[in-house]
Structure 1
Amino acid sequence: MDGFDLLIIGGGINGTAIARDAAGRGLSVLLVEKDDLASHTSSASSKLIHGGLRYLEQYEFGLVRESLHERETMLRTAPHLIRPLEFLLPDPPGGRPWWMIRAGLLLYDMLGGWRGSLPRSRGLKKSDPSAAALKPGHKLASYWDAWVDDARLVALNAVAAAERGAEIATRAELLSARRDGDYWVAELSGDRAVRAATIINAAGPWVSDVLNERLETEAESRVRLIKGSHIVAPRLYDGEHAFILQPPDGRVVFALPYGAHNLIGTTDIAVAEPKDAVISEAEIAYLCDAANRYFVRQLAPGEIVWSYAGVRALYDDGEAEAKNVTRDYRLELDDMPGPKLLSVFGGKITTARHLADEALEKLGVTTSRFTRTTPLPGGDLDAAFNRMLVALATWMPPEMVLRLSRAYGTRLNRIVGKATSLGQLGRHFGADLYEAEVRYLIDQEYAREADDLLWRRTKLGLMLTTAEKRGLAAWMKKRR
């Protein structure tokens, strides 16, 4: 029976971040995920690394400050995957007063630190070209946060963990675990049993189910399951900036550049089960209405090209309204004798690295903090990387160079190898997806099914035809 220092349950952002940190500190780690990496909440976010401007209204100053500092860390350690993004904030008709919005932006700048890498907020003239897509009459302000490919961030944390010795087991489910002396004995799918000195329950929306049904224990903390839905629509405006919109209910909705489309979200709806992660017609109408209040180009529900929903497992702080539930996390270490059990309640993409650091300190693991400065795989950009991109541009379409460089960074050389033409990348599956990239994602990033690749490792599911998707699925099935 294999033995590990840590058994981590959950292959979302929290689980993989903890695995990376723990393996880097010399612990033996097994991470199990019953589906694919980032197959649920961690691929259903708004794709932002941000402090959370609206959290200021809830007096979550500590969370905002921590998140903004983490934003700086992530921009340094994953510069290929995370990039600065300008947000334009038009004043809402009949909503928050303009002085309050400007004061909030000033406080946001202060909490982020005056020496941060991103520009400070500023007011814009109504005639600014960036406002051309808006209905006339809005006051306008600008501030900066950052964008991330959320599912790729999860995958890169898993890759980094594996390269430091962790075992990443996808399509592997924890069936049960019991304390036996100084160890947990865990039964996994596939007739595998392992021993672990500590279990970390990072199962996200299933954290309580794992505690109650698989570990037969309880925790003091509880989670609120809040559904957030997004739509992908034809472009409502030109440019690579984002908008933060304020509907009459006091929430905020982001309109983000998403390749040839715009990504619009999110909602906040309390649900009973993780399986309720399905967008409703009412949510689609709500998001279309939020956009239509501001943009000249009106959006109809029938134009939506894709949508997704995820269930956030937020720490239940007793707030009555879903939109007001804290986005902070809580780490709970149970007080039973014998091997340890740590459960993660809440959290968000931006603070996952800090959460992992705190989780290991809570377990008494020797402090390392290497994740503050060590780049994620592909993030060690240098002059040689720039020269490689110049060389690729002589035979690869510029849009393809841009996508691959942002997704893989310096590890792009592991995909293209010595190729000097598209034909040398192997079978063409559609759009700009070639066999060399598919093989890399299977061999290095745990992609097993076509959906793993199309909707999480890449977002090429938006580009391939139905026939092309079937061709990819058939090819991958034969390869297994």
Structure 2
Amino acid sequence: MANENYDLIVIGGGINGAGIARDAVGRGLSVLLVEADDLASHTSSASTKLIHGGLRYLEQYEFKLVAKALAEREILLKAAPHIIWPMRFILPHQKHLRPAWMIRIGLFMYDHLGGGQTLASSHGVKFADHAAGIPLKPEFTKGFAYSDGWVQDARLVVLNCMDAASRGARIMTRTRAESAVRHDDGWQVMLKTTDGEAIEAHSRGLVNAAGPWAVRFLDDIAFQDHPYSLRLIKGSHIVVNKLFDHDYAYIFQQPDGRIVFAIPYEHDFTLIGTTDVEHEDEPDKIAIEKDEIRYLCDAANRYFEQSIGPDDVVWSYSGVRPLLDDREDNASEITRDYRIQLDVSGGAPLLNVFGGKLTTYRRLAEDAVDKLAPELGNRERAWTGNGHPLPGGENATPQDLVESLQASRSFISPSLAYRWVFNYGTRVMNIVGDARSLADLGEHFGADLYAAEVDYLREHEWARTVDDILWRRSKLGLRLDESEKRRLADYLACQAPAAAGG
């Protein structure tokens, strides 16, 4: 049995665990991150793909959360411009839902709460002379435009892990924590991989970032008392063939007070979501319900001329948000802010992470390590907010990279160059290598997926299965048919195990 020692073991390979691992190893701590499945295989790949302040949270008086998220939006846009970019949102106005003056005040606050903002400010829109008005029903004559950010959510998790690994962290996917025993001077954690390997790992501190399983980890793995409970709120999304031919996204107010987004997605599709439904089952037993599909179709049909129904859905996904139970009756009004609990009363330090949202992950990680590091004798300063890019986001704008790639490799189509750059940034040359033709990229699986990209994902991004590649590292699952997916599965089965490491 392998026996390994670390300053810190992080349980959970979602965005919070990945961010904490990156922050901690960058301060000089030795770190092991353990994930039972693939990176971002649950909540962190099931978001609405937004880096945003949360406009609707202003109505819930969550001003501190919105300000924090808007400030983080600026940091993340600079750290990963290849997977995070600005997007303009259109809010059609319906005066019976919210008066125009209320929306103007809210948008003014949204423009200024986060401090210095590089994105375009909000303004009024008349749909008769605006591209965003074309797909809308004629009763919508005016609205508002404002800015937020779009993100490749699962890739954000992977890039944090790649950066952590490049700084010395060990990232172990498909590895389950079977027990965690607390001693005065450290933790003894028994791990088992899906390949059957048993590992005994020791650390001076432990982070519980297990997301929907955070409470279960404390109850059933670590056997620790805790004062918190989680409410699992299911959010579901549908994808349909594109409903409009421009780059604006929409935010639609609903009669029940909720909002639903309709977002241009992967060039040829529209993403619509999300729902807020209490989830009482196991966190991994989750799928969109018929009522949710109908709700999202109806939400879009209230605004768009082109009507959609369940038969138009080409893909759907669902995830559960592990939100702190604040006794709020309405699921959509439960706080999205996080709670960090540092427990040093029972021996070695234990840090629990509850709640949170994608946009504030970096700040959560910084706050977590600020609390935990001094308990481990480490007083290095926080560093992730000071312009350190994530892998692929270094020293070049994505558009310049697209042009450079096409200039040096004319056999690469504009669409492939664009997709590669806006997934991998400067790391795209690790895929291209010395290739001088499409044939040099290896086996072609369908769409624009070649073996060179698959091999890169296996070697550098911990990808092992078809779903890892087609739904989390990319969204090519929307474009490959079943026979092409089987060919990819056969290729992966024939490859030797990859030692991924950033």
Q: How big is the shift at 1:276?
A: 4.0
Whether contact under 8 Å (2:7, 2:205) holds in the other structure is yes
Q: How big is the shift at 1:382?
A: 2.5
Q: Which residue matches 1:278?
A: 287
Whether contact under 8 Å (1:276, 1:311) holds in the other structure is no
In 1, Cα distance between equivalents of 2:380 and 2:60: 32
Q: Which residue matches 2:29?
A: 27
Whether contact under 8 Å (2:235, 2:276) holds in the other structure is yes
Show CA shifts across 1:245-283 (max 9, x none).
011000010000002000000000111231342100000
Matches within 5 A, 1:16-95: 16-92=18-94, 94-95=96-97
Matches within 5 A, 1:195-214: 195-214=202-221
Identify if the C-alpha distance between structure 1 residues 375 and 303 changes in structure 2 by more than 3 Å, giving closer, same or farther.
same
Partner SS state of residue 90, structure 2: strand
In 2, Cα distance between equivalents of 1:213 and 1:444: 33
Q: How big is the shift at 1:221?
A: 2.0
Whether contact under 8 Å (1:126, 1:137) holds in the other structure is no
Identify if the C-alpha distance between structure 1 residues 196 and 428 changes in structure 2 by more than 3 Å, giving closer, same or farther.
same
Q: Which residue matches 1:124?
A: 125
Q: Which moved more, 1:216-225 or 1:448-457?
A: 216-225
**Residue 220 in structure 1 maps to residue 227 in structure 2:** yes
Whether contact under 8 Å (1:221, 1:332) holds in the other structure is no
In 2, Cα distance between equivalents of 1:370 and 1:450: 35
In 2, Cα distance between equivalents of 1:406 and 1:393: 17
Q: Which residue matches 1:148?
A: 151
Q: How big is the shift at 1:473?
A: 0.7
In 1, Cα distance between equivalents of 2:44 and 2:207: 17
Q: How big is the shift at 1:181?
A: 3.2
Q: Which residue matches 1:407?
A: 423
In 1, Cα distance between equivalents of 2:484 and 2:127: 45
**Residue 420 in structure 1 maps to residue 403 in structure 2:** no
AA partner of residue 323 (structure 1): S
In 2, Cα distance between equivalents of 1:146 and 1:92: 24
Partner SS state of residue 344, structure 1: strand
In 2, Cα distance between equivalents of 1:92 and 1:367: 51
Q: How big is the shift at 1:241?
A: 1.1
Q: Which moved more, 1:321-330 or 1:173-182?
A: 173-182
Q: How big is the shift at 1:112?
A: 2.7
In 2, Cα distance between equivalents of 1:241 and 1:424: 37
Q: What's the TM-score once normalised by structure 2's chain length?
A: 0.93
AA partner of residue 347 (structure 1): G
Q: How big is the shift at 1:336?
A: 2.4
Show CA shifts across 1:203-245 (max 9, x none).
0000000000000012112211100000001111111110000
Partner SS state of residue 85, structure 1: strand
**Residue 382 in structure 1 maps to residue 396 in structure 2:** yes
Q: Which residue matches 1:344?
A: 353
In 2, Cα distance between equivalents of 1:215 and 1:349: 26
Structure 1 segments of 4+ aligned residues over 6 angstroms from their partners: none
Q: Which residue matches 1:182?
A: 185
Q: Which residue matches 2:138?
A: 136
Whether contact under 8 Å (1:176, 1:215) holds in the other structure is yes
Matches within 5 A, 1:203-352: 203-259=210-266, 260-272=268-280, 273-352=282-361
Partner SS state of residue 18, structure 1: helix
Q: What's the TM-score once normalised by structure 1's chain length?
A: 0.98
Unaligned 5+ residue runs, structure 1?
none
Whether contact under 8 Å (1:219, 1:332) holds in the other structure is no
Q: How big is the shift at 1:93?
A: 6.0
In 2, Cα distance between equivalents of 1:472 and 1:358: 41
AA partner of residue 122 (structure 1): H
Match of 2:383 among 350, 370, 373: 370
Q: How big is the shift at 1:386?
A: 5.7
Identify if the C-alpha distance between structure 1 residues 386 and 134 changes in structure 2 by more than 3 Å, giving closer, same or farther.
closer
In 2, Cα distance between equivalents of 1:135 and 1:382: 41
Whether contact under 8 Å (2:27, 2:381) holds in the other structure is yes
Whether contact under 8 Å (2:131, 2:246) holds in the other structure is no
Whether contact under 8 Å (1:219, 1:334) holds in the other structure is no
In 2, Cα distance between equivalents of 1:390 and 1:430: 21
AA partner of residue 25 (structure 2): A
**Residue 3 in structure 1 maps to residue 5 in structure 2:** yes
Partner SS state of residue 239, structure 1: coil
Partner SS state of residue 300, structure 2: helix
In 1, Cα distance between equivalents of 2:228 and 2:214: 10
Percent of matched pairs sharing the same residue: 52
Matches within 5 A, 1:428-467: 428-467=444-483
In 2, Cα distance between equivalents of 1:200 and 1:70: 22
Whether contact under 8 Å (2:283, 2:320) holds in the other structure is yes
Q: Which moved more, 1:55-64 or 1:190-199?
A: 190-199
Identify if the C-alpha distance between structure 1 residues 367 and 54 changes in structure 2 by more than 3 Å, giving closer, same or farther.
farther
Partner SS state of residue 305, structure 1: strand
In 1, Cα distance between equivalents of 2:107 and 2:125: 13
AA partner of residue 179 (structure 2): S
Whether contact under 8 Å (1:158, 1:168) holds in the other structure is yes
Whether contact under 8 Å (2:45, 2:154) holds in the other structure is yes
Identify if the C-alpha distance between structure 1 residues 327 and 439 changes in structure 2 by more than 3 Å, giving closer, same or farther.
same
Q: How big is the shift at 1:320?
A: 1.2
Partner SS state of residue 284, structure 2: helix
AA partner of residue 427 (structure 1): E
Partner SS state of residue 446, structure 1: coil
Q: Which residue matches 1:168?
A: 171
RMSD, aligned α-carbons: 1.3
In 2, Cα distance between equivalents of 1:334 and 1:460: 43
How many residues get paired? 479
In 2, Cα distance between equivalents of 1:150 and 1:62: 23
Whether contact under 8 Å (2:87, 2:248) holds in the other structure is yes
AA partner of residue 86 (structure 2): P
Show CA shifts across 1:98-151 (max 9, x none).
2211111111011133x4110000001131222111011322100000000000
AA partner of residue 306 (structure 2): R
Show CA shifts across 1:30-74 (max 9, x none).
000000000000000000000000000010001100100100000
AA partner of residue 145 (structure 1): D
Whether contact under 8 Å (1:50, 1:145) holds in the other structure is yes
Q: How big is the shift at 1:393?
A: 6.0
